[in-house]
Each structure stands twice: as structure tokens, then as C-alpha cells.
Structure 1
Amino acid sequence: MPLLSLTWTDHVTGRRGFLVVDRLVRGVASGGLRMRPGCSLEEVTGLARGMTMKEALHFDADDPTVRYVPLGGAKGGIDCDPRDPDAYGVLVRYLRAMRPYIESFWTMGEDLGLTQDTVDRAAAEVGLVSTIQAVHPLLDDERAARQRLADAFAVRVDGIGLDALVGGCGVAESMLTALDRAGTAYEGTRVSVQGLGTMGGATARFLSRAGLRIVAVADIKGTIAHPDGLDIESLLAARDPYGTVDRAALRPGDLELPGDAWLSADAEVLVPAAVSYAVDTGNQAAINARWIVEAANMPVRPEAEELLTARGVTVLPDVVVNSATNAWWWWTLFGDMGPHAEEAFAHIRRAMRTLVGTMLTRAGTDRTTPRAAAHTMATDRLQIITQRYGWYR
């Protein structure tokens, strides 16, 4: 059971929001806030548990030079369409209600449906110093750490904020590691991506630049496909803030297909990078891919993963492959890296190659799935964290 689970009801619109704290480490838990229609307490509970595992998986118990000691796991969620005219007001009132928790022990940032700029603006409106102020007492030099993180958020790469690229860099490097271990060439490997927002868009960019061919992408309007590969840079430039592509940017020969066509695309790799529960027992049969890379949180239902595994599809789990965004915040804040793009990308690539390689080796040794191996690794590391820091302090 989580340490804390609560449901909030907006007194203006009646919409509901949730906060789940799965675990505290050194008195603090980390996890973002998402906003989407249909968000539920069950969903947020699973996401909070996932955050506990993501934090634990980046715990290096043997290197005394590492400054970032992983935190506990938490998650927030609001059942509201971020495009709704009432959405910002709901967000402000949610943060006002959650202010005591954010000030005390919940460090949070953007997640699905929200941008960090929007979260920061709403947080300032309710009087919060920062959405991560609960971690400030753990820093050696709070002023320098906050400046370092602010400088990192100010960095832009090809016109895109560094914070919007680090997660996709981690997802892409996870997939490249799996391809290397399988002896599969990057050139010619086809990829289908669901969601072209922050995570999906950055993942598509890094995979495309590595030589993989992005043959399909899906957004709220449907699927865009081309068997010879899409012009990813043009599509990314034509997105709105919610990851929806302006169809005027399509080239002759680009196909407009139904929204679920990304699932059955002729591709070796599927990247669900949008909503949770995208792959279930009903639609998993349409998948032809060899790998599924979970850029989104909990996109493959457990029952569907069992069926996929039985027919030879490998699922690279979210708790590992999409963990770089969260880790980048803390590596930067605590001072394990500076506020520079190339340093960040190099650090993420090294860390993800090590983590994914360890996970795949463990899965092979134990004759189990990558997810089961990741969970075992997280459990082992949580035991050490508990011994060193206790359950709550």
C-alpha cells in the first residue's frame, strides 16, 4: 500500500485530482503531475509505484562520488482535458490544495498534458517558491543548485529546450542498446511512434538521427505514415503545444490513416509515447513489431504483455527506459552534471546503456522478461536504500 493516497474535488468544476506518495526517502518523494481526461486514482497509484522503482534503479550504492541519492516515489493527476478552457483554473486550485505537501515532501514537475512552464506559472500564482522546494534542504548549496537547474532549463538545442529532449534521449539510447545486443543494424530498422509530444517527439528525433526509419507517428487526429520513412524534423516543427501535427506540413506520399494504425504498422519497433493503457488484450494481436519501448508510463497492460511475450515480442519497460527525465533533474540539481546539453546527453547515454544492459543481462540469466528483471533490480536496491535511510526519514 502507498504511504499516502488522497482524492481532491474541485469546488468550482467538480473535477477530481489525486496525489499518491508511494514512499519517502530522506523525507522526500519525486514524481510529476499529469492532466488528462479519465485520469484515475488507480492510474496515479501505479505511476507513483513506478516512480519509486525509477528512483531506486538509478541508485549507485558503490560510488561515493555520486551526489544524487534517489528519492521516494510519488505522482499527481487531474481528471481534466488540458485543452479545456477551465483547465488552468483547475490546475491552480489543485496546486493550492496540494501546497502543504509540495512544500513539505512532494517534489513535482510536468507530466502528460502539462508543460513545465504552465506548472511553474500556476505554482507561482499559489505562492510556491518552487515545485521542487521540498528537496532544497538536502542540497549542499541551495543557491548554486537552483541556479544550475535554471541554467539547464534555459539551454536550447536546435530551438528546443534541453528539458524537452533529455527523456527522449534516454528512451532512444535504451532502444539502441537493445538493438546492439541483438546484433541488429540501425539503418533500415523501422519505428512506429504513438504520440509526438515531448517524449515521443524527442525519441523520434534521436532514433531518426541514429539512422532508424520512422515510418508512422500517431497524434490525436490519427496516424501519419510513409513506408520509406517520414520527415521527422518537418513534423516536429509543425506540432502544436499538445503534440498535434498540422497536416499542411505533410509531403506528397505521406498517408493519413486511422488513429490505431500505428499499432499494426510494418515496423520492428513500437514506441507508445502518449497515454497509459494504450496496448491491451484486445489490440495487442495487431502488433507486428519485435520490440515495444515504453516511452509513456504504463502503456502496456500486464495481461497484454503476457500475450506479447508468449509470441516473442520484447517489452522494454517504462520504469527503465523513460527514467532519464526524472534523473536528469536530480543529476543537474545535485551537481553530478553541469547545465550543458552535450554533457547531459553523454551522461544520459552512459547511464542508460549501463542500466538497460544490466536489465537485459539479468533477464537472460533469470530467463524472465526485462520488466521482471527491472523489478528485481529495483527491489534489491530498495533494500539497501531502506537499510541506509529508513522508511520515512
Structure 2
Amino acid sequence: MSVVVEKKKQALKTSSLLEVSWTDPVTGTKGFLVIDRLVRGVCSGGLRMRKGCTLEEVRELAQGMTLKESLHFNPNNRYIPLGGAKGGIDCDPHDPQMRGVLKRYLKGIGALLRMHWTMGEDLGLQQKLIDEVIQELGLESSIQAVYPLLSDPDEAIARLRQAFSIDDDGVGLGELVGGLGVAESVLTALDQLGRPRVGSRVVIQGFGSMGGATARYLNRAGMLVVGIADANGVMANPNGLDVEALLKSRNSYGEIDRASLRPQDAVLPRGRWLAVETDVLVPAAISYCITSDNQHEVAASVIVEAANMPVLREAEDLLTARGIQVVPDFVSNSATNAWWWWTLFGDIEADLGQSENKIRSEMSRIVTDMFGRAAADGVTLRDAARAFTQDKLRTIDAQFGVS
């Protein structure tokens, strides 16, 4: 196993605190861990697995996690935001050797998992598999680094475990919270733009836990889910797809059984998802999927990022010039991370209603503030949200220090 660790100078705002590059001794697969920031000695961020994952990508994701953490800082909460981090493995999650690669990666960075990095599932990995491998390695949990910050770790762990056991009409609460945050971001954005919720159309790329839950909550709010893209293509219907039927038909990779479609539902090639006529577009699958080369195909007037970094910056500049608003990922997909910590620290109980109410109220407040700042300062939503998080980070630094 080869591990290269580079210590960065924290004085530079764009630098990471720690970057780890790992090489699998069996397959030669590359893996990365970037700790962007530590607060009270701990950082938070998921682990993704995808072919083509790079250190630069993981670095950007870690910086985004710092923003997500700070976004939800409330001095009245028990949860004090952690630092930001991210892990990534350059491996196809369908590769038969992926489990062994994952286990060797986690063993290689085990010391950081024990002491500093709290980690959960991300693109290409499921929490169930992570938990299995963590147990095989003799570690307590993928989030054990946060345990010393808890007043009663046993009670907190039991509460989080109970929360993950809650089921809402066939879908676990842990799979729903991220999409609920995205959905509330969509609905609040429509409110801020003076557009109706009921009857507005949405296209969602990706139908895993994030995309599927987003579809469910927007459908329940009266929006028409007119297009859904999975790895095998695009399903579309201008009058709305049957979201619940499609949720019941998907496999563990978020792929929809075409047998669940109705005769009036159209099946289009995978590349056609941008062109489906819609009011709102939600990329909820992969990074870097909207580029300067394809942004002209976007038919929506609002994009709400559910995936991490789906819109390239040069594409966003072109979209903004066309009058298309982009709600940034570190805002709209931040609810999963926040919900874990609200539950673990005891700001909410293991309860479906409390979880939904907390996410809805927090996301509505944050998105409303972002739109207000953008309008007042004449800047993009992303720049307004970054200004908001910088205010939060300064307060966290003053009260708790930072590494």
C-alpha cells in the first residue's frame, strides 16, 4: 500500500488542511481523502466511488462540505458544525473487486477514521456496505470520531439507529431526508420567483435515494414530475409520471424497471434529459454533467443542484446570462448531513414528523435568505450563499477555533 500525505498551510483560504493519496496494493486503484477543515478536531463528509474520481474532485467536494456544515450553524442547537472533508475511490462500483478495494482503503486511512473523519455514503456506495466493512475492520462506526463530542454517546447512537429504522411508505427515513431538503429548496425557490408550486413541472436526473425522494416530495406538493433519467435512459410524460410506482420498481442502483411504465409514458435516449420541457431541472446523479457544451439544451428556468457539483462554473456563467437561476449544491443537498447531526446530538428525536419539520423550516429559511441576499447585492445565488456561509464560518472560528 502506498500512501502520500501532504500537509497544507491553513493560512491560504483555498488550501486543504490535509490531503491523502492512496494506492491499492492489489489492483493499483487510486483513492483519496481530503480534510479541508477541522472544528473541535473533527470533520464530516461522505465517501464516493466512481471510475475517474480524482484528487481535484475530492478537494472541491471537501470544500463544499465545509460550506454545508457552516450553513446550518445555530448557536441554540446542540449540534455544532464540524469541519469539511471528503473521500473518493477511482473505481467502478459495479466492479466485482470493489468490496476488497473499499476494505483496503478504509484500513489504510483507519487512523483518521478513528480520530478525525466522520464518514457516510456518497455516490456509488451504500451505507449498509460501509457499515459491514467497518465492522469487519474492528472499527466502532464510520462516525466514531464524533463520539467524544457527545454528552451521552450510547443514547445518541441508539437514537440515530432508531431513526434509520423508520420507514415511510416503503422508503427508509435515512433515504428520504436528503431529497426532502432538495424538494423544499425547489418549492422555496418557486415561491421566491413568484411561480406556482402546483402544476409546475420538474425533470430529475438520477433516481437513487436523493433523486427518488426529491421526486416523491415534489409530487406530493402538486408538482408534475415530467421526466426522470436513470442510467438506462429517460422516461417522460408531460402530464406527469407515476412517481410512487417508479419508486417501487427501482433497484439498488436507482434503475427503474421499464415494465412499471404506463402506455402513455415515453422512453427517450439517456442524453435527452436536458431537453425535456420543464420549469425546474434537478440534476441528482453525477458531477460535471452540465457543461458549456450542453448548457444550451437546458429547457428549465431554474436548476436546483441535488448532486455534488453537477453544473460546471463556465456553464453556470452561461446559464446565468440566459436568465436561468442555479441553486447551489452546498445549499440544496445539505439536509442529509444536517439531519444526521441533528439526530445524533439530540436537536430532534428519532421521529418522522420532527425530521420533516426541521428540514422544511431550515431549508426554507436558508433558501429564502439566499434569494434575498442575491437580490439585494445584485449577485448570483451561489455568491450570495457563499457570503452567508462565510459569515457563519467566522462566528464558528471565533467561538470554537479551527484547525
Shared fold per TM-score greater than 0.5: yes
Aligned mate of 2:341, from 330, 340, 358: 330
Tell me, in whole angstroms, the C-alpha distance in 2 between the residues paired with 1:383 and 1:265: 42
2:165 is aligned to 154
- 1:19 and 2:33 equivalent? yes
2:142 is aligned to 131
1:37 is aligned to 51
Q: CA deviation at 1:280?
A: 0.4
Aligned mate of 2:327, from 307, 316, 341: 316
Tell me, in whole angstroms, the C-alpha distance in 2 between the residues paired with 1:192 and 1:153: 28
Higher deviation after alignment, 179-188 or 224-233? 179-188
Task: Give RMSD over aligned pairs.
Answer: 0.8
Aligned mate of 2:67, from 49, 53, 72: 53
Tell me, in whole angstroms, the C-alpha distance in 1 between the residues paired with 2:335 and 2:315: 25
The SS at the match of 1:50 is: helix
- 1:120 and 2:131 equivalent? yes
Normalised by the length of structure 2, the TM-score is 0.95
Q: Given residue 27 of structure 1, which amino acid in structure 2 is its aligned partner? A: G
Tell me, in whole angstroms, the C-alpha distance in 2 between the residues paired with 1:222 and 1:39: 23
2:251 is aligned to 240
Aligned mate of 1:363, from 374, 381, 389: 374
2:205 is aligned to 194
Q: Given residue 11 of structure 1, which amino acid in structure 2 is its aligned partner? A: P
Q: CA deviation at 1:226?
A: 1.1
2:189 is aligned to 178
Q: CA deviation at 1:98?
A: 1.3
Residue by residue, what CA displacement relative to the aligned partner does 1:286-342 show, whole Å, maximum 9, x if unpaired? 011010000000000000000000010000000111000000000000000000111
Q: Given residue 38 of structure 2, which amino acid in structure 1 is its aligned partner? A: L
Tell me, in whole angstroms, the C-alpha distance in 1 between the residues paired with 2:271 and 2:204: 11
Tell me, in whole angstroms, the C-alpha distance in 2 between the residues paired with 1:270 and 1:87: 32
Tell me, in whole angstroms, the C-alpha distance in 2 between the residues paired with 1:242 and 1:94: 22
The SS at the match of 1:275 is: coil
Residue by residue, what CA displacement relative to the aligned partner does 1:198-251 show, whole Å, maximum 9, x if unpaired? 100100110011000011111111111111111111111111101011111111
Tell me, in whole angstroms, the C-alpha distance in 2 between the residues paired with 1:326 and 1:194: 21
2:16 is aligned to 2
Q: Given residue 147 of structure 2, which amino acid in structure 1 is its aligned partner? A: H
2:308 is aligned to 297
Tell me, in whole angstroms, the C-alpha distance in 1 between the residues paired with 2:272 and 2:219: 20
Q: CA deviation at 1:179?
A: 1.0
2:155 is aligned to 144
2:102 is aligned to 91
Tell me, in whole angstroms, the C-alpha distance in 2 between the residues paired with 1:78 and 1:125: 19
Residue by residue, what CA displacement relative to the aligned partner does 1:31-50 show, whole Å, maximum 9, x if unpaired? 00011111111110000000
2:6 is aligned to none
2:12 is aligned to none
1:277 is aligned to 288
The runs of at least 4 aligned residues of structure 1 exceeding 4 Å deviation read: none
Aligned mate of 1:379, from 356, 366, 390: 390
2:7 is aligned to none
Residue by residue, what CA displacement relative to the aligned partner does 1:346-388 show, whole Å, maximum 9, x if unpaired? 1100111111111111111111111001111111111111111
Q: Point out where structure 1 has 5 or more consecutive residues left out of the alignment.
A: none
Q: CA deviation at 1:165?
A: 0.1
Q: Given residue 25 of structure 2, which amino acid in structure 1 is its aligned partner? A: H
Tell me, in whole angstroms, the C-alpha distance in 2 between the residues paired with 1:138 and 1:33: 22
Residue by residue, what CA displacement relative to the aligned partner does 1:69-106 show, whole Å, maximum 9, x if unpaired? 00000000111111111111111111111110000100
| Number of residue pairs matched by the alignment | 389
Tell me, in whole angstroms, the C-alpha distance in 2 between the residues paired with 1:365 and 1:240: 45
Residue by residue, what CA displacement relative to the aligned partner does 1:1-47 show, whole Å, maximum 9, x if unpaired? 10011111111111111100000000000000011111111110000
Q: CA deviation at 1:183?
A: 2.0
1:261 is aligned to 272
2:4 is aligned to none
Higher deviation after alignment, 251-260 or 368-377? 251-260
The SS at the match of 1:165 is: helix
Normalised by the length of structure 1, the TM-score is 0.98
Higher deviation after alignment, 81-90 or 19-28? 81-90
The SS at the match of 1:144 is: helix
Tell me, in whole angstroms, the C-alpha distance in 1 between the residues paired with 2:32 and 2:235: 34
